[in-house]
Amino acid sequence: MTPEIHDLCKFLDASPVNFHAVAELERRLRAAGFEALDMADRWALRPGDRRYVTKNGSALFAFVVGRKPAADEGFHIIAAHSDSPCFRVKPNAEILCDGGIVKLNTEVYGGPILYTWFDRPLSLAGRVMLRGTAPLRPETRLVRFEMPLLTIPHLAIHFNRGVNEGNPLSKQKDMLPVLGAIGPGESHQGLLRRMVASKLGIKDENDILDYDLSLYDTTPACTTGMNGEFVTSGRLDDLSMVHAALTALLATAETPSGATRVMAIFDNEETGSGTKQGAGSPMLAHILRRIAAAQGCDEEDYLRGVARSFMISADNAHGVHPNYAEKQDPTNHPYLGGGPCIKINANCKYMTDADSAAVFRALCERAGAACQDFVNHSDVAGGSTLGNILTSQIPLRGVDMGAPVWAMHSARETASCSDHIATTRVFKEFFSL
C-alpha cells in the first residue's frame, strides 16, 4: 500500500461519522499550524495566516490567507462533504423483545443501499450534549464505541424463499439493529444513556441532555484487487475527496499564492444541503466576505474577488460497473483507474460548463493526470451535489468533479488507488496557482 493510500485508510477509519471526520480534520490542521477562528469573534488576518472555522461540529472551513487582497486574486476553493448515508438512533430507542433481546429504533439518514448494512459488526458514534454552565451553552463531547456492538440480522432464507428474487425492505421493520440481551430484573429503558455515561465517564447520567448517535461499520478500510489497485471502505463518498482536498491544502500551505486557498467541507449533502452547516446556507459566503473585510476590502472589492474566484466541487462519480456497463452513457465510460471525472449535466444538476471543464482539464494536464467525463445515461436520473447549491449563494465559476467509485451509498464502496493519488495531485496544482 502506498503512503498516500495508507493515510487515506487511516483518515477513513478515524471518521466513522461526520462529527469525527471534522474532529480528525481539526487534529490534522492544528498539527500543521492552522489555528481555530470563532464566527462570534472579530477577525484580524495577515497574508499567509492559516485558519479554520467549524460549524455545528460537523462542517469545517480551512483557509490560507492570500498574499493579495481578494479584489486582486480572489479565492481558490475546493468543496466536499463530511456526511454519508447511515442510520441515526431515534430518541427513546430501546425496544425489548423476547428473551431480553434489546433492539434500537433508528431512522435512515440519506439514501443508503439498505441491504448492505445487514449482518455486519456495527458500532455507534456521534456527539453527546451535557449540561453546561447555562442553557444556551451545553457541553459537547464526542463518543465512539470502538468495539462491535450491534448487528442487523437478516431474516433466514427458510422464512423467505424468494429473497434472492427481490426483497423489498421496510426501514422501520427490517433494519433495526440488535444491541444485546439483558438479564432478568434489568431495564431496557435508558440503557443507551447508561452506556454513553459509562463510556464517557459521566457520573450522573441525567447530565446527558441529548445526543446525535449513528451506526457505523467497524470493518476497517483496506485495499483489494490482485495488485492492491482498489481501496474499499465505508464513506469513500465523500471522505475520499475530503482527504484529497486536505492533503493538497496541507502540502501547499507554505507555497506563496496571491489567492486565498479555501477548503470547504459541508455537512448534510446527503439530505439536500438545507441546514446551517450545509451548502445551501450562506456560511461560505459569510466566511469569504469576512476574509475580504480583514484584508481591507469593501463590499465592491469582495464582489470583485468573487468574480476572480474558482471552485472545485468534489464529490465522487460513478465508474462503469463491470456487471452493468449498459447503465452508463453509451460514449462516456469513466472507469476505475482512468483518473478523476468531470461531471456534466445538460440540465445543470452540476455546475460544470465548457469554461470550467477547460480549467479542470488544464489542471489535470499540469498534474500529469488523465481526466475522464461523466454524464448520465439519458434514461437514468442522476444525483446532484454541492456545486449548483452553492452557486445559489455565491455566483462562483466552478466545476463539479469526483473520482469514480463502485457501489455508491453501499456500506462499503470501492474506488481506485491511482485515481485518488491523481485527484490529490490535481488539487495540489489548483492550490499552487
Binding site for Co ion (CB under 5 A): 237-238, 315
In the block, which residue shows the cell 455508491? 408
Q: How far is the CB of 409 from Co ion (least distance, A)?
A: 8
Whose CA is closest to 78, among 265, 307, 355, 352? 265
Between residues 94 and 238, which has the closer beta carbon with respect to Co ion? Answer: 238
Is 409 in a helix, a strand, or coil? coil
Q: How far is the CB of 316 from Co ion (least distance, A)?
A: 6
Alpha carbon distance, N-terminus to C-terminus of the chain: 30
C-alpha cell of residue 207: 447530565
Between residues 196 and 312, which has the closer beta carbon with respect to Co ion? Answer: 312
Between residues 37 and 239, which has the closer beta carbon with respect to Co ion? Answer: 239
Between residues 83 and 217, which has the closer beta carbon with respect to Co ion? Answer: 83
Is 187 in a helix, a strand, or coil? coil
Whose CA is closest to 86, among 58, 111, 56? 111
| Contact status, residue 384 vs residue 110, Cβ threshold 8 Å | no
Between residues 64 and 242, which has the closer beta carbon with respect to Co ion? Answer: 242
Between residues 196 and 314, which has the closer beta carbon with respect to Co ion? Answer: 314
Q: How far is the CB of 383 from Co ion (least distance, A)?
A: 7
Between residues 13 and 315, which has the closer beta carbon with respect to Co ion? Answer: 315
Q: How far is the CB of 236 from Co ion (least distance, A)?
A: 9
C-alpha cell of residue 323: 456487471
Q: How far is the CB of 341 from Co ion (least distance, A)?
A: 13
Q: How far is CA 48 from CA 26, 53, 65, 68, 260, in A?
A: 18, 16, 5, 10, 9
Q: How far is the CB of 192 from Co ion (least distance, A)?
A: 29
Whose CA is closest to 25, among 243, 316, 261, 252? 243
Q: How far is the CB of 238 from Co ion (least distance, A)?
A: 4
Cα three-residue angle 340-11-422, rounded to 5 degrees? 20
Q: How far is the CB of 283 from Co ion (least distance, A)?
A: 18
Between residues 306 and 403, which has the closer beta carbon with respect to Co ion? Answer: 403
Q: Which residues contact 295 (CB under 8 A, 6 or more apart)?
A: 45, 65, 69, 70
Q: How far is CA 271 from CA 114, 138, 140, 275, 382, in A?
A: 16, 26, 23, 9, 15
